[in-house]
Structure 1
Amino acid sequence: MSALDGANSITLPDDLSGAFCEALKADLLARRGQPLELDASNVVRCGGQAVQLLVSAKRSWASDGQPFAIVNPEADFIRIVQLTGLQDELFPESGADT
């Protein structure tokens, strides 16, 4: 069952590099104003640009009053986000900082 009932869902690829960021940005913009869930179960590589994009998206959804969640984060993805210092931004409820 989805963490966000009725949410749109995007399954993120294993490599969130700069090349994928433009496509993800367009997909996010197309879904703005609706609940959104990003499945991060495949992500093992992620660049700083992608982390910044995800933080920006989460903030945008919050300002719109819409639910936004990143679910099933792979351990490698969590470690990358921790290195940026933005784990509390993306995973405030998960305790991913341990």
Structure 2
Amino acid sequence: MAREEAIDVMKSTTGHASLYEINLPASLDLRAAVPLATALLSARGGGMRLDGSQVKTVGAQCLQVIISARQTWERDGFPLTIVNPTEDFLAACADTGLDIDSIVESEPAR
């Protein structure tokens, strides 16, 4: 079985608020689901930005992780946004019927 790659979480603080950012990997496949969930859980308790500018492929498991994270952040009272989603990322969401327009912060990356 292939080794799972860790996903790094960056943190910035302004005043009393923390903002975390994750640069999503090019392949959000089955192998990325556990590292993505782990990275998200490690950053719970502040705002979250998921940078989708490198995403080429997206699997259902990673979409489930993102949906769950969105619901968790909303319950916790923090924003979770996706920035710079690629056309591939947006198409994968559309193909599964997932409407992410409400959490996309900017125009798709080219």
TM-score, length-scaled by structure 1: 0.84
Match of 1:54 in 2: 66
Structure 2 residue runs without a partner (length 5+): 1-13
In 2, distance between residues paired with 1:38 and 1:53?
Answer: 12
- Runs of 4+ in structure 1 off by over 2 angstroms are none
In 1, distance between residues paired with 2:89 and 2:103?
Answer: 16
Correspondences of 1:35-50 after superposition (within 5 Å): 35-50=47-62
In 2, distance between residues paired with 1:93 and 1:60?
Answer: 14
The alpha-carbon deviation at position 93 of structure 1 amounts to: 5.8
Work out the percentage of aligned pairs sharing the same amino acid: 35
Task: Give the RMSD, CA atoms, in angstroms.
Answer: 1.7
In 1, distance between residues paired with 2:62 and 2:81?
Answer: 15
Match of 1:18 in 2: 30
Structure 1 residue corresponding to 2:101, chosen from 85, 88, 91: 91
Cα distance per residue 1:44-66 (max 9 Å; x no partner): 10001111110110110000000
TM-score, length-scaled by structure 2: 0.75
Structure 1 residue runs without a partner (length 5+): none
In 2, distance between residues paired with 1:93 and 1:28?
Answer: 16
Match of 1:28 in 2: 40
The alpha-carbon deviation at position 30 of structure 1 amounts to: 0.6
Amino acid aligned to 1:79: A
The structure with the largest alpha-carbon Rg is 2
Cα distance change, pair 71–61 in 1 and its aligned pair in 2 (3 A): same
Checking the alignment, whether the CA contact within 8 Å between 2:80 and 2:103 is kept in structure 1 is no
Structure 2 residue corresponding to 1:78, chosen from 79, 84, 90: 90
Q: Which moved more, 1:31-40 or 1:6-15?
A: 6-15
